[in-house]
Amino acid sequence: MVMPDTRTRWRCRRGMLENDLLLGRFLDHGYDSLDQEGRDAFERLLGYPDNLLLDLVLGRQATVDSGIARLVPLIRAATADRPEA
């Protein structure tokens, strides 16, 4: 199992609560199943400005980065599947 390192965890601290929750939940539920390519894509996603990041994850905008596009449903599922957590 691949645990996110603390550096990745800290960089999931964002300017918006929505992103804090989405990324935080994904770190705990989903990140460990990513392969190296997926983890690299996640790092690229963290480099996006907050508004764009949220638009991508909520599907308001599409991306040509196929690695990030593959992550989006996983990130959404990590939050939506656990409403009580």
Partner 1 sequence: MKLTTRKFDALIIGAGGAGLRAALQLSNADARVAVVSKVFPTRSHTVAAQGGVNAALANVLPDSWHWHMFDTIKGSDYLGDQDAIEYMCRAAPKVVYELEHFGVPFSRLDNGGIYQRAFGGQSQNFGKEQAARTCAAADRTGHAILHSLYQQNLRARTHFFDEYFAIDLIKDEAGYVLGVVAFEILSGEPIVIEAKTTLIATGGAGQIFRTNTNALSNTGDGMAMALRAGVPLEDMEFVQFHPTGIAGRGMLITEGVRGEGGFLINGEGERFMERYAPQAKDLASRDVVSRAIAIEIREGRGCGKNKDHVLLDMRHLGTDTIMKKLPGIREMSMTFLGVDPIEKPIAVFPTCHYSMGGIPTNRDGQVVVPVKDTPEDPVPGLYAAGEAACVSVHGANRLGGNSLLDILVFGRAAANHILDFLKENRYHRPLPQASVDQALERLSRWERKGDGEAVEPLRRELRKVMEDHCGVFRTAEVMQEGVDKLRVLRERIENAVIRDHTQTFNTARIEAMELENLMDCAMATMCSALGREESRGAHSRVDFPERDDERWLKHSLYSLLDDSMDYKPVRTQPVTVESFPPKKRVY
Which residues in this chain contact partner 1 in the complex, by CB under 8 A? 5-7, 9-11, 13-18, 20-22, 24, 49-51, 58-59, 76, 79-83
CA distance 69 to 9: 21
Residue type, 47: G
Query: Smallest gap, in angstroms, from Cβ of residue 20 to partner 1?
Result: 4
Pick from 80, 66, 1, 71: nearest CA to 33? 1
Query: Smallest gap, in angstroms, from Cβ of residue 15 to partner 1?
Result: 4
Q: Between 37 and 58, name the residue whose CB sits nearer to partner 1.
A: 58
DSSP annotation of 59: T
